[in-house]
Chain A
Amino acid sequence: EAQVTQNPRYLITVTGKKLTVTCSQNMNHEYMSWYRQDPGLGLRQIYYSMNVEVTDKGDVPEGYKVSRKEKRNFPLILESPSPNQTSLYFCASYPGAGGPGEQYFGPGTRLTVT
């Protein structure tokens, strides 16, 4: 089954404790993205990757890091989480053909930073 998986689905952590949210896709897609979704603000892109070792900032990259060492994986790293990073995070992948709307989203990771 074609899918984007994220782990963990729920995470509660404390300020300053480094964490990684993993994302994996099994569709051999070139492009992958991370979004955060907040009430009243909608979905905002954090980072995206066009291929292995190629990443770029989205609209809200501050406080986040990403890496793309393998095509299927695109982890999101919070080196020193803060309460304003409490949010619902989505990973998405896109085949690179057909248009940017053809993004497949993962199930989401709800992060709470206390």
Chain B
Amino acid sequence: QKEVEQDPGPLSVPEGAIVSLNCTYSNSAFQYFMWYRQYSRKGPELLMYTYSSGNKEDGRFTAQVDKSSKYISLFIRDSQPSDSATYLCAMSLNSGYSTLTFGKGTMLLVSP
């Protein structure tokens, strides 16, 4: 079983749709959970960052962490064509520097 699983997509939705992106993981010691967005030919950029379980909201984006189920989600409301990108989940063990473990990324396509 891979440490972090993420459906590669592509996930195609119409503009305005609510998008749900998910990752599952096997290591219950992960405590920090991140979502990165990567546009084609660009480096990843941090979207959301949460510690332990719970929800975090930032504009149209909501991150959810369910540690009991080892499942994290990113919701995008009112999706826009500019949201078309690959979304990577990432996790780490502690707040000091430690290796980030990335999912393989889900490609999202939002059509006008």
Contacts and interface: CB of A to CB of B under 8 A. Distances in A.
Contact of B45 (A41, A99, A105): A105
A40 B43 CA distance: 17
A109 B5 CA distance: 26
Contacts of A90: 43-44
User: Binding site of B, secondary structure by majority: helix, strand, loop or mixed?
Assistant: loop
A59 B43 contact: no
Nearest to A31: B97
Interface string A77-114: 00000000000001010101001111111111000000
B88 A100 contact: no
B97 to A, nearest CB: 5
B90 A106 contact: no
Interface residues of B, number: 25
Given A48-B97, A96-B97, A102 B46 contact: yes
Interface residues of A, number: 26
Contacts of B33: 101
B97 A108 contact: no
Interface string A18-48: 0000000000000100000000111111001
A102 B99 contact: no
Interface stretch (B12-20, B66-74, B75-83, B101-109): B101-109
Interface centre among A31, A50, A103, A108 (most CB of B within 10 A): A103
Interface of A: 4, 31, 40-45, 48, 50, 58-59, 90, 92, 94, 96, 99-108
Given A92-B43, A101-B90, A102-B49, 6 more contacts: A43-B88, A59-B99, A94-B97, A96-B97, A100-B98, A101-B32
